[in-house]
Structure 1
């Protein structure tokens, strides 16, 4: 199985323009020398046409290598093969060089490293590995072709040329391929970070949706069940009960619209997130559902970051929701906030030992623990003293 080709960052037209600019610059810098050397090289008309075509093809491929890296590398490899196999060039440039020399020594051959970089950076596996193997074979052919280039140095110092030649072709190959793979790896890493961020955001929205929907529906169901009995005894309480149910539903819809707006990329401002200052209203909602709730605060309140304050609020909301859903209607819940210099301690307990999420391993407890741990806190939940307790620690 092959992996997808790495995506290129930025507008595609900008990448095209930069690549064409690079091709033009390299052609202006390197191509004139090569064309002149081949035309004056006394290689015969057939080889002259082949070598001129190979030089032009190499420069042209630079402009499209990022779009079609495999095809550009393949054609570039064939062009380089022609330059390696071509006869030695003579003429005025050969006189200046001290003797006839192989076409593979023309400056245009450096362009092949650009094609190798492109296939390493833009092509999916296994093409970068195949390209490296093919290039290494080409390096071997080049070294063999130039091994006895006596025009460069005297025979007694030929080992200097051979060492320079080997290091140059292998070093250029390694550098071009490694830079290409670095770019591909970096883009893949950035993509993985984006995917992880999107997954974290989905989990956050899932937790928010769970908290909003579970709490609001549990309170509305409890109010409806209690209201049915209350209306039978006192019909005049019907408007009050229905108003309370409608208020809970409107608040839930408002929060859900905000969360769904994030999923839709909605530009409208999201409703403000609840804070610890909203806990009294939350407690009143739960009391309206028929549960006795005591709220107490000790210590000097601190100013918590927004995410930590939201996490504290959601812990209390989820714990009370679980009490409403799973504990008998005559249960009593206690919410205790203990402020300390290092943070906030939260304890929510009730006097019934029914697990607040069925078996104690429900989505509610897991969501609370994930939320608290995400802001650097800790959470413990379980039966204690004939009841159930949720204890959380939110650092300042």
Structure 2
């Protein structure tokens, strides 16, 4: 599975650039025209023009550099706030004058506030909200004596305060919603990746532990048997080779899934493979009795779970049951469930395991909605599993 990392982009995201272009096309011409015919001194015309251009430019860079863009945009709004009143094409009457903070381009501030709220970590979103609310309050103070609105004074102040404080709060809240949703999505992805790692670890443990247990058992037996019975060397080596070959086949299939190979892989083992599994364990010297109904049917996922549970249980018998181990595997149908019991008896040896095999079995059974119970008996160990058919 290949992972491609995106290189640095000037604007961080194409949608941000598109937003900046749309806002500039809609808002900037009227704002610049108002400044051009504003009737203020040339330095103020230059300062207002630069402030407007900075506001729109910061919208384009807000996704990549949210904090610097917001700071420059807030400074531009401050210039509009302290500038002298202007005349312009948006006058309500021919003789009225108004503050440049009412120019349409001031709406860019909301986009900048959203960018900081959505794409930065605390305390920057809270600080940006504080700047926005303070700016809204200063705007109302700056416009306190503005009475040229073509509506009633109370309606004008209600509209102005709602736009200033409501717009600031809404932009900030939308940004925080996006940030929270992105964090939640990231946590889901991390959880899915962790679950997949655990699944792969279980598969590798089951494949490797079982195959190595069979191979080691035969190698130990061969070391003792071959000097006195050389004719059995071929049989023992063949069993070791078969166990290694099976492990390689299963591992190749598992790694093929990890590489996202398009080539077909071997199917996962299931109920029909249990007799062959038992035969391999018998070849190691363990007396195993298998009892199962040939008519048992279940889903591939449940079949794989049963196979791996039996495989792990028999592997533990091979490794820890000591001399003359005996095991019994039974599969029966109990209502709408399949009951799997693996019992063994023998002289127990000191275990050097980590318990991960039992943890892996429990995780497998839980994943298909089943239950698992395991523990010692009078002369051995029992593993009992119930899974839905």
Q: TM exceeds 0.5?
A: yes
Which residue number corresponds to residue 75 of structure 2? 78
Confirm or deny: 8 A CA contact 2:10 2:61 kept in the other structure. no
Confirm or deny: 8 A CA contact 1:98 1:151 kept in the other structure. no
| Distance in 2 (alpha carbons) for counterparts of 1:50 and 1:349 | 87
After TM superposition, list the pairs within 5 Å mapping 1:304-343 onto structure 2: 304=299, 306-343=300-337
Offset of residue 354 of structure 1: 3.3
2:360 is the alignment partner of 1:363: no
Structure 1 unmatched ranges of 5 or more: 1-7
**What's the TM-score, normalizing by structure 2?**
0.92
Which residue number corresponds to residue 258 of structure 1? 253
- Deviations 1:141-177 (CA, angstroms, capped at 9, x unpaired): 11111122111168xx433322221111111111111
| Of 365, 371, 375, the match for 1:378 | 371
- Deviations 1:72-128 (CA, angstroms, capped at 9, x unpaired): 111100000011111111255435377211111111111111111111122233222
| Of 84, 98, 106, the match for 1:109 | 106
| Distance in 2 (alpha carbons) for counterparts of 1:14 and 1:281 | 61
Across the aligned residues of Structure 1 and Structure 2, the Cα RMSD in angstroms comes to: 2.5
Offset of residue 299 of structure 1: 8.0
Which residue number corresponds to residue 215 of structure 1? 210
Offset of residue 14 of structure 1: 9.8
Which residue number corresponds to residue 117 of structure 2? 120
| Distance in 2 (alpha carbons) for counterparts of 1:375 and 1:36 | 68
Offset of residue 256 of structure 1: 2.1
Change (3 A) 1:9 1:173: farther
After TM superposition, list the pairs within 5 Å mapping 1:1-396 onto structure 2: 16-91=13-88, 93-94=90-91, 96=93, 99-152=96-149, 157-298=152-293, 300-304=295-299, 306-352=300-346, 354=348, 358=351, 362-396=355-389
- Deviations 1:220-262 (CA, angstroms, capped at 9, x unpaired): 1111222333323422111111101111011112222333344
List, as ranges, runs of 4+ consecutive aligned residues in structure 1 with deviation greater than 6 Å: 8-15
Confirm or deny: 8 A CA contact 2:83 2:99 kept in the other structure. yes
Offset of residue 291 of structure 1: 0.5
Confirm or deny: 8 A CA contact 1:299 1:338 kept in the other structure. no
Offset of residue 26 of structure 1: 1.4
Confirm or deny: 8 A CA contact 1:120 1:184 kept in the other structure. yes
Which residue number corresponds to residue 5 of structure 1? none
Confirm or deny: 8 A CA contact 2:11 2:63 kept in the other structure. no
Offset of residue 362 of structure 1: 1.4
Change (3 A) 1:179 1:9: farther
| Distance in 2 (alpha carbons) for counterparts of 1:244 and 1:194 | 42
SS class of match (2:341): strand
Offset of residue 264 of structure 1: 4.5
SS class of match (2:43): helix
SS class of match (2:93): helix
| Distance in 2 (alpha carbons) for counterparts of 1:298 and 1:270 | 28
Confirm or deny: 8 A CA contact 1:347 1:392 kept in the other structure. yes
SS class of match (1:196): helix
Confirm or deny: 8 A CA contact 1:282 1:317 kept in the other structure. yes
Confirm or deny: 8 A CA contact 2:207 2:251 kept in the other structure. yes
Moved more, 89-98 or 38-47: 89-98
Number of residues of Structure 1 aligned to a counterpart in Structure 2: 385
**What's the TM-score, normalizing by structure 1?**
0.90
Confirm or deny: 8 A CA contact 1:216 1:252 kept in the other structure. yes
| Distance in 2 (alpha carbons) for counterparts of 1:313 and 1:117 | 54
Structure 2 unmatched ranges of 5 or more: none
| Distance in 2 (alpha carbons) for counterparts of 1:13 and 1:339 | 64
